[in-house]
Amino acid sequence: MRDKNLIKKSLYFHLREWLMEGGFLIGITGETLLEVATKIYSAAYDNWVFEDLITYPVTIYDAGNEVSPSNYTRNFLLGVITFATGYTIQGTITADYTYLIPNLRTMYPDEEEFKYIDLPLLVSGIAGSPMISLKLGGDKRLIHDCQVDIFARHDDEKDELQNLIEDKLRDNPNFEEIDLNQGFPLTGNGEVNSNYTKPIKKHLNVKEVNSMPILVAKPTMKERHRILITFNLFELRYREF
């Protein structure tokens, strides 16, 4: 994975952590899961918290009895439980879990999907990565022009999300680029990767944090409370001799 993609993915995982710390999550207790296929059950909400399972555990019950985690796997992104082949289901499956409220994306949904997507929606990404010279014949600095586009349900929510993200960026001027080439926090099936250690590849300097409202001529209901946060991540590239 190239550096630009690493930074883009790193921003996604940092946003998850910041939203957790900011309290943008909801705990669900005793929800009856929907059977969508043999031994596969889906919750009403996806985007489950996986970063701190001591504070925010996932607990599954079968006919009111707690099921050992060895008898199922979890897909934290989709909010899905899959029972092991050898496990015999006794009755109604219920769950306790915690999910992040904002819908996080690294790409904008298409027009049709956007009609049905739940808010708040946060779309993060990199608009460009120009290389500039600090001085003639000297070192060069690579700049990543980053952004977080916020679509909120109301102005108070928009302000809360904006203030949280701006404060995190300004309070943490050394942005951690996570080396996801060494592993992801989740496996391909959405389960927690027990071998993941959050390896840091390098730190980048956060500069020029700004926000601007996005105004359109005829906004839809989902575009009425929208703001774009922009910032730069600087890294040093040395001159070749």
pLDDT per residue as tens digits for the range 133-182: 666 556 677 899 999 999 999 999 999 999 999 999 999 889 999 998 88
Contact 192, 186 (CB under 8 A): yes
Token pair, residue 223, equals 């575009």
My answer on whether omega of the bond before 120 falls inside 30° of 0, hence cis, is yes
The answer to whether residues 120 and 152 touch, using CB atoms and an 8 Å cutoff, is: yes
Lowest mean pLDDT among 1-5, 52-56, 134-138, 173-177: 134-138
Mean pLDDT of 74-100: 97
- Give dist(CA 222, CA 116) in Å, integer: 10
Domains and CATH numbers, the chain: 3-23+102-237 (3.30.2000.10), 25-100 (no CATH)
CA distance 61 to 86: 17
Categorize the per-residue pLDDT at 240 as very low, low, confident or very high, splitting at 50, 70 and 90.
very low
Bridge-partner residues for 202, per DSSP?
Answer: 177
CA distance 97 to 30: 9
Q: Exposed/middle/buried for 129, CB within 10 Å: 0-12, 13-18, 19+?
A: middle
